[in-house]
Amino acid sequence: MTVKKKPKGAARARARSPRPADAPVRVIVLAAGVGSRMRSSLPKVLHRVGGRPLLDAVLDTAERLSPAETVVVLGAARARVETAIEGRPVRVALQDPPLGTGDAVRCGLELLDASDGPILVLSGDVPLLRPETLAELVRKRGAEDLDLAFLSFRPPDPGAFGRVVRDSRGRVRSIVESKNATPRESKIAEVNAGVYCFRAEALRRCIAAIRKNPLTDEFYLTDAIELIARAGGGVEAVEIPDWREAWGINTRRDLAAAEEIERRRSVERALDSGVTVLDPATVRIGPHVEIAPDAVLHPFVCLEGRTRIGEGCEVFPFTRIADSQVDAGAAVGPHCDVEGARIGPRSRVGPYSRLRPGTVLEEGVRIGNFVETKNAVLGRGTKALHLAYLGDAEIGADVNIGAGVITCNYDGENKNRTEIGEGAFVGSDSQLVAPVTVGKGAYVGAGSTITKNVPDGALAISREGQKNIEGWAARRKSKKAH
């Protein structure tokens, strides 16, 4: 009879807790730090890189893994951060008082159920990590059935990062904080990125076993590496090929460096997808922006939020477009500000135009210099080329809006709508006092104030009759002479 030996080390851990490698990952994001080195009243994780808060960047990346659960651990600034992530599919744990990363993970674990499977621990101030890197970390842990896989990297200057200590066989034994490192350990180039993927059971054991550091009175999650290694568990570092991904934000200098890395990444993505970027050093493209091939971006263009730029569009210098759609063949001129708007195919906007939320320009619309629109729909071929305000308006196709036209939409209490029919002509320096309708093919004489509906095909004029006083100028000059 064959007697089976009792499994040891990592094999013993695996025997206790078999689990399919493809079990859904659960995520704990550590975001309780005060960030005192930022010298700011704003919580560190709400500072922005690439147009979005650091914590949003981390959560966006984590969501690409389709996690079963996500818990965000917050601290003293809970109220402000919780408001900022409202609507996301996450739960919030509170760490108060702050007692280190090990304690923060303990707080997060309390909100997760007791099931097994991988648990991914992320820092809320590492915004440049790519989903592919996290997916590889999770895959590595599962494929090799490890108790822990964590990310490491080799920056040009290891500085204050924790060193990854290996034995003579190359096995990970511990992470040593830089301030505690020996001269020999300080020379280690491989450092800890602070991103971990644990087997759930192994994480729970470690959190229970981690002891408070006698110098700082805090619990350090990095102690888990040594605990697992000493017990014979499976632990391995997964090195990030591009060290910049692990860039953590602790100071304003870190923030500026991360901003430049993210900016360059976004420009490179655009170039690789067939976009012409005339001055890559000055263009900024947000992480959620989509740009079709053959679009052209001029210097100092800023594309933010969930903006979509269609094929063959051209965006000229010093223009900002946020959370908007620009359809194929459209052009947005210099010095424009576009937010929450849709610009139809082959439309022309600018220079010096402002399109506010709710603006919809249909095909071939022309918006010129110093024209502002808000919550307004402009039909195909309509043009407003100079110095106009069009708010809360429904404007049909092929309408001409003259210089200085204003839709007077606010009566002090309510916003009211103006409707202008297809083919109408509104003369310069006219005010349309809403609610009011100008019918199809109707004309409004220049300098008119329209308070009543204008029927289809009618001409509306409300200015007073002109009066000429003969000889008035000469008499005025004569009086001045005396």
> Which residues are catalytically annotated?
386
Question: What three-state secondary structure class fits 245?
Answer: helix
Q: What tokens appear for 432 in the block? A: 């349309």
Judging by DSSP bridges, how do beta strands 425-426 and 443-444 pair with one another? parallel
Place of tokens 């491989």: 190
Q: Kindly write down the DSSP assignment for every residue of 121-180, as one continuous string.
A: EEETT-TT--HHHHHHHHHHHHHTT-SEEEEEE--S--TTSPEEEE-TTS-EEEEE-GGG
Q: How far apart are CA 323 and CA 369, in angstroms?
A: 22
Q: At what angle do helices 101-109 and 200-209 cross, to 10 degrees?
A: 130
Backbone angles phi, psi at 351, to 5 degrees: -75, 165
Q: Are 467 and 449 in contact (CB under 8 A)?
A: no
Q: Which of 459, 466, 464 is nearest to 439 (CA)?
A: 459
Is it true that the peptide bond before 351 is cis, omega within 30 degrees of 0? yes
Q: What does the angle CA 244 – CA 245 – CA 247 come to, to the nearest 5 degrees?
A: 65
Q: Are 441 and 399 in contact (CB under 8 A)?
A: no
Q: How far apart are CA 434 and CA 443, in angstroms?
A: 17
Place of tokens 């550091």: 213
Q: Which of 291, 250, 294, 286 is nearest to 265 (CA)?
A: 286
Place of tokens 């409004």: 444
The helix or strand, by DSSP H or E, that contains position 437, with its residue range, turns out to be strand 436-438
Q: How far apart are CA 323 and CA 303, in angstroms?
A: 8
Q: How many CB atoms lie within 10 A of CB 11?
A: 15
DSSP one-letter code for 220 = -
Q: How far apart are CA 461 and CA 465, in angstroms?
A: 10
